[in-house]
Amino acid sequence: MTLLHWTLPLPAGYRRDDVIAFHSRDAEAVAEQVTATGLRKGILLAGAAVVLDVAFTDDAAICRADIDGDADAGLRERLHGALLNILGLRIDPQPFAQLAAGDPLMAPLVRVNPGLRIVQSASPFEALTWAIIGQQINLPFAIALRRTFILQAGRRHSSGLWCYPEARDVARLAVEDLTSRKFSRAKAETVLRLARLVDDGELSLELDASGEVAAISQALLAVKGIGPWTVNYALLRGYGYADCSLHGDVAIRAALQKLLGEESKPDMARTEQWLRQYAPHRTMAAAHLWASLHAAEKNSSPERE
């Protein structure tokens, strides 16, 4: 086993309770465990089973990675990136707060939730598979399917915690492995199609050096079963992209309906147009709309495009 340590300074007003709540969705805690002051998450990275252990102080996150195996420089870099993701440190909420300060509709939402952040999945692959798994079903069922998925394709760390799988692990499954465990055939086929494309090297989930998302967005849209909402969700939860337009999200449209005081949800075209005024910070606009509608459940349940 290899042990690595980091201390990540936390910004003023950091909302650790939001981060802990996000990682406590599964009450059975097969791959994530939380306490009042920390969390543990199991992931597979570059074939290694890793548990990330985070203890919060008032101004820092004390982080440890327990790796079943060795850690080269590439794995260390990926682990640091995963920590930034799961702690919600990719997107600074302040630029959006400044943009919305004079907005009569959004400013009150920001005042209610100062310092709200987007907590991410550990990797783009985790974000994508969770989005596919959770579409069109209620949250408890989505969490149960996710748990099944981890137990089927993941690996148990030496500590006993299960690790969320990588593409190579999922690619070994057959459709029947998932459909026999309550996955719809469409979900199973899409998850396996994605995993096999990534594992075969036909689809890269790495952003280029510029950080531009256009190329990865087009590549994902070309995968059968993945639509615009799934891509935007992956950009938000997997890449920490600050300008995602979640106009296809049912919850976003419901929150906008409530915010505008209208009798019906705005359609996707109107929602897209309305969100455009907050570019290049539409991700945080979506976060505050989610928060206004769902409070404790605000970031948990994907919706269908």
Assigned CATH topology for domain 124-297: Endonuclease III; domain 1 (1.10.340)
Q: Is the peptide bond before 124 cis (omega within 30 degrees of 0)?
A: no
Q: Could you report the per-residue pLDDT of 174-203, keeping only the tens digit for each?
A: 999 999 999 999 999 999 999 999 999 999
Domain boundaries, the chain: 2-91, 124-297
Q: Which of 34-38, 249-253, 299-303 has the lowest mean pLDDT?
A: 299-303
pLDDT recorded at residue 123: 95
Task: Give the model's pLDDT for residue 39.
Answer: 97
10 Å Cβ neighbour count for 124?
22
- Options 3.30.310.20, 3.40.50.2300, 3.40.50.1220, 1.50.10.10; which CATH number does 2-91 get? 3.30.310.20
Kindly report the pTM of this predicted structure.
Answer: 0.91
Q: In angstroms, rounded to a whole number, what is the distance separating the alpha carbons of residues 127 and 81? A: 14
**Which residue in this structure is represented by tokens 């087009």?**
218
pLDDT digits (tens, 9 = 90+) for 229-253: 899 889 999 999 999 989 988 889 9
For residue range 94-128, list pLDDT tens digits in order: 999 999 999 999 999 999 999 999 999 999 999 99
pLDDT bin (cut points 50, 70, 90) of residue 211 is confident
